[in-house]
Amino acid sequence: MIELIPAIDIIDGKCVRLSQGDYDKVKEYSALPADVAKEMEDHGITRLHVVDLDGAKSMHVVNWRTLEQIANATSLVIDFGGGVKTDDDLRIVFDCGAQMVTGGSIAVKEPDTFQRWLLKYGPERIILGADVKEGKVAVSGWLEDSDNELMAFLQHYTQQGVQKVICTEISRDGMLQGPAISLYKDILAQYPDLYLIASGGVSSMEDIEALAEANVPGVIFGKALYEGRITITDIEKYVIQ
């Protein structure tokens, strides 16, 4: 069964969602992140994806206190991304309760650092973030494009020992128009042993079921949950199956 991984994106300590990674298209949700996380856990969720959007722009971890609040309020397995650029950032995130860290920009801009983290902490704790726009990897909170072709990027890091990848199709993120299933099928055709986590565009449980049928191991979703297109009850029923 596909692993369900709700996302909590944070700006100024609050739950928000962007559309296509655009910081000018922010929708704020009233619930506190820790309360949202606790409700998810109460309905069978065991894993959470937390993104520090302030950190992604600032190039260092910003919302670490919010991470700590979530970790203290729940027993969820948390992976954290956004602004993790230095050894101190990584230490802060792990100390505040994250079990895993997702590195995207750092893997592009400072590959030696990312590879050192991979060796030190292992592929179970270091996830590669591969956020893609028109076939190329984007960085710095999706504010910058890189010259890295997605498939070559994945090939390089799987050879370095990466086992888990979160791949977001930026054009679909926050748009509720369905995930890039053909992209994920292409990735898994080349890297069948990869623990690939799809992200972007999920609008319904039917989208999640389509990803499961494509043998995608995990899925991240956020806006569909906050907008009521996927309900906590839907999640609970699916998890219990």
Q: Residues 9, 52, 54, 207: which is the catalytic one?
A: 9
Query: Mind listing the domains of the chain with CATH numbers?
Result: 3-240 (3.20.20.70)
Told to judge if 193 belongs to the known catalytic residues of this protein, a careful annotator would answer: no
3-state class of 170 per DSSP?
A: helix
3-state class of 193 per DSSP?
A: coil
- Which residues lie below 8 Å from residue 119, measured CB to CB, with a gap of 6+? 161
User: What confidence score (pLDDT) does residue 176 get?
Assistant: 77
- Give the chain's radius of gyration (CA, Å): 16
**Amino acid, single-letter form, for residue 156:** H
Q: Residues 52, 54, 79, 131: which is the catalytic one?
A: 131
Here the tokens at position 52 are 């520090």
Q: Going residue by residue through the chain, which has 241 residues, state the pLDDT in tens, using 9 for 90 and above.
A: 899 999 999 999 999 877 666 677 778 886 789 999 999 999 999 999 999 999 988 889 999 999 999 999 999 999 999 999 999 999 999 999 999 999 988 999 999 999 999 999 999 999 999 989 878 888 765 555 667 899 999 999 999 999 999 998 887 766 678 999 999 999 999 999 999 999 999 999 999 999 999 999 999 999 899 889 999 999 999 987 7
Told to judge if 9 belongs to the known catalytic residues of this protein, a careful annotator would answer: yes
CA 208 to chain centre: 15
pTM reported for the whole predicted model? 0.92
36-45: per-residue pLDDT in tens? 999 999 999 9
140 burial class (0-12, 13-18, 19+ CB within 10 angstroms)? middle
102-158: per-residue pLDDT in tens? 998 899 999 999 999 999 999 999 999 998 987 888 876 555 566 789 999 999 999
